[in-house]
Amino acid sequence: MAAAASPPGKRRRELDAEGLEAAGPEDKETTEAGIGNGTAASARFPFSGFRVKKVLRESARDKTLFLHGKVNEASADGNGEDAVVILEKTPFQVEQVAPLLMGSPELQLQFSNDIYSTYHMFPPRQLSDIKTTVVYPVTEKHLQKYLRQDLRLVRETGDDHRNITLPHLASQSLSIQWVYNILDKKAEADRIVFENPDPSDGFILIPDLKWNQQQLDDLYLIAICHRRGIRSLRDLTAEHLPLLRNILQEGQEAILQRYQVTADRLRVYLHYLPSYYHLHVHFTALGFEAPGSGVERAHLLADVIENLEHNPQHYQQRTLTFALRADEPLLQLLQEAQKS
């Protein structure tokens, strides 16, 4: 087994829909895979202009804003193309903030009463960056995915999965080429934290897009298995136990070695439904309330391993509960099956 010790970089691709509280069976295709890996150089957007058409979603709690806009409207046909830009305020870094407070920061008083006062502070450029994710070009499927939607809980039996969910997925265009680009080291090779290269029981461990790698409070990495054809939790049997044990043990050891975060401070889990259909496992800081880590979606890897040890067909037989957006066609198909 080989570990890659290159310094963290950044990748430019669509926000992992693991960040959505409930994801439909959508694809996670990369936009121009392999571009912008691990560079801090000045850059430009891959389009000209951005005319805001709609605010798809905003969150004061998460400090995020999802915008749908028209770009390249000055092109020959004048119609332009659709793009999504996601803006997110980056977390504070104490080593940068402390010197600012010791100096004379630019302030505007908003409120003062006895010992309490509130200000607007205007930080210097190095403290005011905004993480910006570009999804371009986008389809209607992308726009619907990022649009805030009401959620509904649904229960899926093993028969439902075989007779409804799988045929529905087969009817969708679900590209995961960006996953294969990572596994084949055509993209993001410089960001690999650890790799077990075994083609059957190995995996690659890589930082998730949602983590800027500047602090450990929101640590977030993804283990992507080398073996192809394992789509989700539902496919797992006792045959996959060596792979799952490798991911759990070696992933925890790699994170301890690189980030000095012990196994008892990690949440290690799979999503069902996943946001893309190639088996992957999430490693997040235990104190971080990562999107998608709720009980209706997250399955602890240690529990998955134990369930398979007791019953190799556990996930083919068990009824699983998960959330879907109210407009997701799969929700209607499953609800109709339950009525019949």
Active site amino acids = 280
Segment holding 280, helix H or strand E: strand 280-285
Q: Are 211 and 8 in contact (CB under 8 A)?
A: no
Cβ–Cβ contacts within 10 Å for residue 103, how many?
7
Backbone angles phi, psi at 135, to 5 degrees: -120, 110
User: What is the chain's Cα-based Rg?
Assistant: 22
Decide: 334 and 319 in contact? Cβ < 8 Å.
no
Q: What are the structure tokens assigned to 294, written together?
A: 């709720």
| Helix or strand (DSSP H, E) at 241 | helix 241-259
d(CA 286, CA 340): 42
> What amino acid occupies position 222?
I
Beta bridge partners of 83: 69
Reference 66, options 45, 87, 90, 91; nearest CA is 87
The position carrying tokens 């970089």 is: 9
In the numeric block, which tokens belong to residue 21?
Answer: 């509280």
